[in-house]
Amino acid sequence: MNDYCFFFWFDCMSENWQSERRNDPYYRKAKKECYRSRASYKLKQLDKRFKLIKQGCSVVDLGAAPGGWSQVALEKVGEEGKVIGVDLNKIKPFKEKNFYSVVGDFTKIEIQDKIMEVLGGKARVLISDASPKLSGIKNLDQLRSIDLTNVVIEIADDILEDKGNLAMKVFQGAEYKKMLVDLKKKFRQVKTTKPPSSRKKSSEMYVVGLGFKSSEK
């Protein structure tokens, strides 16, 4: 592909993406209702179905930027709760004083230690809409996804309080079933779902763990 063809293809793809986004009902809804991301509705729908987040609880949001899920979590926990958003990119502050931002790679031990420091105890809910950096190679991307998922589960082991809840994005692949089997040993209930706001063409799924079985009761 010569340079002219590449840039023509790139411009077409960019134009199509912009057009698709403008026509997306959840994108328009997010703009109208002042949410930072259409992804906010994924968490709203998950929470409505599974009652993940209650007023006054502590929530850790992994891969939080630009803050769509943290925004919903702040609405749910109220003034007495706490929301910690973790991302490689800095998250624009919210007006709420009970939001805390941790900038860094949550797969790194030093960032996990920072989360624990800011949390100052245990979290009631762990949420993650994070995706790995995709290569376009299906098998490789599935492996990267499951690696990221396993890190989220490891963090849940460390920070979730007994009977706490988990909601995270996953992509199906060779290790998907094994991950679910392992997760069922850690939670009283494990559910898989695809909320209505998740794009139909996307291979993403969401796993919800309810009632964490903490070893520190």
The residue annotated as part of the active site, out of 169, 178, 191, 201, is 169
Confidence bin at 215 (pLDDT 50/70/90):
confident
CA contacts within 13 A on the Cβ side of 153: 23
Q: Looking at domain 39-212, which of 3.40.50.150, 3.40.630.190, 1.10.3480.10, 3.40.50.720 is its CATH number?
A: 3.40.50.150
Residues 45-69 have pLDDT tens digits of 999 999 999 999 999 999 999 999 9
| 156 alpha carbon, distance to own chain's centre | 13
| 7 has pLDDT over 80 | no
CB 130 within 8 A of CB 206: no
Q: Catalytic residue at 185?
A: no
Residues 89-133 have pLDDT tens digits of 999 999 999 999 999 999 999 999 999 999 999 999 999 999 877
The reported pLDDT for the residue numbered 16 is 46
Domain spans in the chain, listed from the N-terminal domain onward: 1-34, 39-212
Angstrom distance (rounded) from CA 54 to CA 211: 14
Q: What is the mean pLDDT of the chain?
A: 88
| 202 has pLDDT over 90 | no
Q: What is the pTM of this model?
A: 0.87
The reported pLDDT for the residue numbered 21 is 57
Confidence bin at 217 (pLDDT 50/70/90):
low
Pairing of strands 187-193, 82-87: unpaired
State percent of the chain over pLDDT 70: 87
- Which of 125, 191, 187 shows the shortest CA–CA distance to 161? 125
